[in-house]
Amino acid sequence: MTNFQVKTYDEYQQAYQRSLEDPESFWSDIASTFTWRKKWNTTLEWNFEEPDVKWFKGGKLNITENCLDRHLKTRGNKLALIWEPNDPKERFVRYTYRELHEKVCQFANVLKKNGVQKGDRVCIYMPMIPELAFAVLACARIGAIHSVIFAGFSAVSMADRINDAGAKMVLTSDGLNRGAKQIPVKRVVDEALETCPTIEKVIVVERLGWAVNMVEGRDVWYHDEVKDVSKECPAEIMDAEDMLFILYTSGSTGKPKGVVHTCGGYMVYAEYSFRNVFQYEESDIYWCTADIGWITGHTYLLYGPLLAGATTLMFEGVPTYPDMGRFWQVCDKFGVTIFYTAPTAIRSLMGGDIDDVLSYSLDSLRVLGSVGEPINEEAWHWYHTHVGKERCPVVDTWWQTETGGIMISTLANVTPMKPSHATLPLPGVHPILVDSDGKEITENGVEGHLCIKHPWPSMIRTTYGDHERCRLSYFSTYKGLYFTGDGAKRDENGLYRIIGRVDDVINVSGHRFGTAEIEEAINHNNHVIESAVVGFPHDVKGQGIYAFVICKDKPENEEWLRAEIIETVVEKIGKIARPDKIQIVSGLPKTRSGKIMRRILRKVAEGDVSNLGDTSTLLDPAVVDEIVEGSLSKAKV
């Protein structure tokens, strides 16, 4: 079972070499350690032109049999899930593998009873409570395709996703806790569903005990439905290439796209990468702080650890509630051994009193992880020194919603570690750097666009309902390659450092937004004619959102207008996409062909206006002076 976990640098190099020479036998051996109802006929069929990628074709399986059933004999009484509530005074809850199996089967039976069938899409808009984990696995159990929507998105965003997926059902809760706040989740769902004709049923899990609006014939309470269902539910047999889930993520153009992952390849890569990166051991208590609404929560809170038979911790709250020591208090409380979080969380905690971390022992920790955005050296050292006591390796894991699992990362205590560097690819992953003409750069000590040369099992298969968009977004920029959208450096020793996006995507606190998506939201405001959004360096969030906005009339009160624009963005996307700065301008720097020169706006947003480069190709160069002046003189939000 664990024969694919490399334990030494030598083993890493051998595995890597083998994966280059014979990728199919490499992956086929790993896949053989899983429970399949029927073995696959071909390990891999692929071309990156269409693209068309099939792993383990002809294989039949159910991922939940691998997450749950196969552990029952040997780990039935082992803890599978520990749930820590938002309020430290509320009691935590634990589920053994046997109990989790029962909960998932019950939830699956509730779904069936309410009409969900194999292939149906189910949207999940829920807080971080155990029922969210049950719900996701219950969908997988019966072959329904889950699409989890982070519960911070607005009703408009939710409706867009539901309609794109053509979902039949929404799973939600009455409300949610986030730190000191309580948020009426069901009300957001009700608003979204006004424009979602495909939804037939809504199942509501009680969290806060609030009285909520229940629509007759559409809405039912989970606790009523679960009363008399069986604790057994046979797993639906799925093809390896059947869809497992859709997860929406932002790109540089248009609305968020539904990234599609399939059952077999995703399963194999989730456990493989989980074990290797964190160097998992049977006795570990593993905590990934990501919300299940993001890919990190899918692969490394839920599927990866459960496939490995690990104990995974799920936390409802936020790092700063009731105080800045909450993460460390929870680590001590449960004896967490592997801790995986995002740079933005580390940076926000660094700003607090050092005693908030030093007053906890953190003795149990042995591996620390980072994900979602580049981790700056200061945050890396703080994490390594004060949390890891210089004893724990920090694995900086680079990957994407589209890659399904970690692609480039230190393997804890096995491969080299270097601050702010994701370092080396996992065996089976073949990254390359290309120059702007798409030519591979083979030397070290270089910088380029990061591409992947060969398929890996958990890669994106399509964008839901629009395969051409998948091709255009990832496979058309450089022929024959998967293009990540990231820029990267490779140092003299061949270690990768991810610099960040080279497309029009902003990474705010590890969450992706397309500039076009935010502009479209801003333009919905009645006073706005046009806008241009760029990212700028932000101490805590990594990148902040800076919006340049042209208004119809000179606003009477700029403060009010800014507040109104923010409200529009919150309504269209959600609080997480609030612009940090809004500058009202009379024009935007456009070329004669009408293209906005974002390079100039980025410089202004960074506060670096000394050298704006060549502005002679602009339609109206004077507009730049006005923007620069405005950026320096006016107080912004």
Return d(Cα 68, Cα 11) in angstroms, integer. Answer: 29
Q: 477 and 466 in contact (C-beta within 8 Å)?
A: no
Between 337 and 397, whose beta carbon lies closer to ligand WTA? Answer: 397
Q: Smaller CB distance to ligand WTA: residue 179 or 500?
A: 500
Q: Which is nearer to ligand WTA, 299 or 531 (CB)?
A: 299
Q: Give the residue, chosen from 147, 507, 509, 515, that forms a contact with ligand WTA under the rule CB under 6 A.
A: 507
Residue number with CB closer to ligand WTA (106 or 410)? 410
Q: What is the 3-state secondary structure (H, E, C) of 324-356?
A: CCHHHHHHHHHCCCEEEECHHHHHHHHCCCCHH
Comparison of 134 and 294: residue with beta carbon closer to ligand WTA: 294
- 3-state DSSP assignment of residue 219: strand
Q: Is 515 in the site for ligand WTA (CB under 6 A)?
A: no
User: Reduced to 3 states, what is the DSSP secondary structure of residue 259?
Assistant: strand
Which residue in this structure is represented by tokens 């990832």? 474
**Residue 291 in contact with ligand WTA, rule: CB under 6 A:** no
Does residue 486 bind ligand WTA (CB under 6 A)?
yes
Out of 270, 394, 498, 627, the only residue in the binding site for ligand WTA (CB under 6 A) is 498
Under the criterion CB under 6 A, does residue 365 sit at the interface with ligand WTA?
A: no
Secondary structure of 386-423 as H, E, C letters: HHCCCCCCEEEEECCCCCCCCCECCCCCCCCCCCCCCE
Q: Which is nearer to ligand WTA, 138 or 307 (CB)?
A: 307
* 448 contributes a contact to ligand WTA by CB under 6 A: no
Part of the chain binding ligand WTA (CB under 6 A), chosen from 498-506, 527-535, 550-558, 561-569: 498-506
**Min. distance of Cβ 401 from ligand WTA in angstroms?**
3
Question: Which residue in the set 28, 397, 410, 531 belongs to the binding site for ligand WTA (CB under 6 A)?
Answer: 397
Can residue 401 be called a binding residue for ligand WTA (CB under 6 A)? yes
Nearest by Cα to 95 from 106, 103, 86, 105: 103
Q: At closest approach, how far in Å is the CB of 158 from ligand WTA?
A: 18
Cβ atoms of 123 and 171 closer than 8 Å: yes
Give residue number: closest CB to ligand WTA.
401
Using the contact rule CB under 6 A, the part of the chain among 156-164, 426-434, 494-502, 569-577 near ligand WTA is 494-502
Q: How far apart are CA 304 and CA 296, in angstroms?
A: 10
For ligand WTA, which is the closer residue by CB, 171 or 371?
A: 371
Structure tokens at 271: 């456990």
Cα atoms in the 13 Å half-sphere on the side-chain side of 629? 7
CA distance 103 to 87: 23
Q: Is 292 in the site for ligand WTA (CB under 6 A)?
A: no
**DSSP states of 477-491:** SSTTSEEEEEEEEE-
Q: Binding of ligand WTA at residue 296 (CB under 6 A)?
A: yes
Q: Which is nearer to ligand WTA, 249 or 525 (CB)?
A: 249
Alpha-carbon radius of gyration of the chain: 24
d(CA 51, CA 294): 24
Site membership for ligand WTA, residue 504 (CB under 6 A): no
Shortest approach of ligand WTA to residue 488 CB, angstroms?
A: 9
For residues 480 and 49, give the distance between their C-alpha atoms in angstroms, rounded to a whole number: 6
What is the size of the binding site for ligand WTA (CB under 6 A)? 23
Among 249, 276, 279, 348, binds ligand WTA (CB under 6 A): 249
Contact 457, 266 (CB under 8 A): yes
Of 46-54, 67-75, 274-282, 495-503, the segment contacting ligand WTA by CB under 6 A is 495-503
Task: Identify residue 385 by its one-letter amino acid code.
Answer: T
Out of 179, 416, 500, 555, which residue is the one contacting ligand WTA (CB under 6 A)? Answer: 500
Q: For binding to ligand WTA (CB under 6 A), which residues are involved?
A: 249, 294-296, 371-374, 396-401, 422, 484-486, 498, 500-501, 507, 512
